Structure 1
Amino acid sequence: MELHIDKAEAIQAALKRGASNGLGFLLVDPAMSLIYANEEALQILNYPAKDRRDFEKVVRERLHSILTIQGARQVSSVTEFVSGRRHYCCRTLGVLLRSRPSNREDFAVLLERTLDIGFEVRKICEKHNLTKREQEAVAHVVRGLSVKEAAACMEISPNTVKAFLRFAMLKMQVSGRSAIMAKIIESKR
């Protein structure tokens, strides 16, 4: 997926809308140098540092460690990481900026806070005797990932993820993905 951007104003407007939702947004070049980062992204990547002396270096190192997990520098990849006690989903997209003369593809990086749902999901999965891979597929669905994104995280085909989810739904005696969510929400009560 390639995104062509003509004007920085369009990016700024989108970022202002995203900032109110706690969404971190960065543009980085292939060498992991920051082109742009909104305030939320900088807070996520720089946590818990208070001073900004080596700020750019800290952000670059943190971003590099996140994006090299599971080959996240591929176009349209999804990874998860922890910053402090918060869990985040990191999505990367390839971007061709017309304002930059190089043919190299830059990256747009979205950082979105997710819930740490591991305990509740494990509890439900153990109750229904799900296999490890079925548990993993269910956990990705609960986190809101699509089948394609879950497949990328699990390094298997989307059809295999669908099969794991079908087996999980049979064992849990539910009819769909939303019913899996309902089971987990019920267990919290």
Structure 2
Amino acid sequence: MSNTSSPVKAKNFSAPRADEPLPKKAVSPPRTAAGLLLTDSSLCPVSFNAEAIEILSYPAKLASPTNAQVLLAAEIRSKLVSQQVPSESHFVNEFRSGRRRYFCRAFFVDSGAEDPSHPSIAILLERGPSGLVAMSQVSRQFNLTQREREVLEYTLQGLNSKAIANRMNISRNTVRAFLRMIMVKTGVSSRSAMVGKIMMTQPQ
């Protein structure tokens, strides 16, 4: 490819008159709190945003993008790949970075690409709605059973009754029964109030 470029015609600019409003300054879009990574089939990062670096490298401070790429490759395997399943295609549902809890969602994209370095997996890292929820403390405080605790954890992740039922391999009616019991134990009358009650019990 040639490095030469066509000449660009200069544009004429004039200073604004006193009665003309000054042009508005461009406002950058707000940064998202979610981390996003694109990896190849070997889980080597191809592209990533600043939030992904911050989440996975905490508390380290990285000096260069090269260092970030090397570190992220290691952190993906140590934090995001499930150690209980001997396959690189199984990711954890959640993990912790410092005192914060994050949810991990992996999506397979363009799996038919022949180039092994082609982006094939998109990984989204989202902070949990309540930061670090001390579920052991919550279970003791409200005397929750193990199954009630599971239902509550999935509820805090934003899952609906159908999704919770699929995760726990139970019926939606059973999920609703667990939710009603949790509401009774927490002294509230709605699902949203139950979530709010749990949030209020967490240390700031």
Matched, 1:73 2:89: yes
The percent of aligned pairs where both chains have the same amino acid is 31
SS of the aligned residue for 1:59 comes to helix
TM-score by length of 2: 0.63
Matched, 1:64 2:77: yes
Structure with a larger share of its residues in strand: 1
**Structure 1 contact 147–158 (Cα < 8 Å) conserved:** no
Matched, 1:138 2:149: no
Task: Pick the aligned partner of 2:106 from 72, 92, 106.
Answer: 92
Give the Cα separation in 2 of the matches to 1:179 and 1:127: 17
TM-fit CA distance, 1:49: 4.2
Task: Pick the aligned partner of 1:176 from 190, 195, 204.
Answer: 190
1:42 aligned partner: 53
Matched, 1:55 2:72: no
**Structure 1 contact 26–34 (Cα < 8 Å) conserved:** yes
TM-fit CA distance, 1:30: 2.1
SS of the aligned residue for 2:46 comes to strand
1:22 aligned partner: 33
**Structure 1 contact 78–92 (Cα < 8 Å) conserved:** no
State the AA in 2 paired with 1:65. S
**Structure 1 contact 97–106 (Cα < 8 Å) conserved:** yes
Higher relative contact order (CA 8 A, sep 6+): 1
TM-fit CA distance, 1:57: 2.4
TM-fit CA distance, 1:31: 0.7
Give the Cα separation in 2 of the matches to 1:57 and 1:144: 33
SS of the aligned residue for 1:32 comes to coil
CA RMSD after TM alignment: 3.6
TM-score by length of 1: 0.67
TM-fit CA distance, 1:151: 6.2
Give the Cα separation in 2 of the matches to 1:145 and 1:126: 23
Consecutive unaligned residues in structure 2, runs of 5 or more = 1-27
User: Kindly tell me: are residues 85 and 36 of structure 1, through their superposed partners in 2, closer, same or farther at Cα, counting changes over 3 Å?
Assistant: same
Consecutive unaligned residues in structure 1, runs of 5 or more = 1-15
State the AA in 1 paired with 2:122. A
Give the Cα separation in 2 of the matches to 1:176 and 1:78: 30
User: Kindly tell me: are residues 43 and 148 of structure 1, through their superposed partners in 2, closer, same or farther at Cα, counting changes over 3 Å?
Assistant: farther
Larger Rg: 2
**Structure 1 contact 148–158 (Cα < 8 Å) conserved:** no
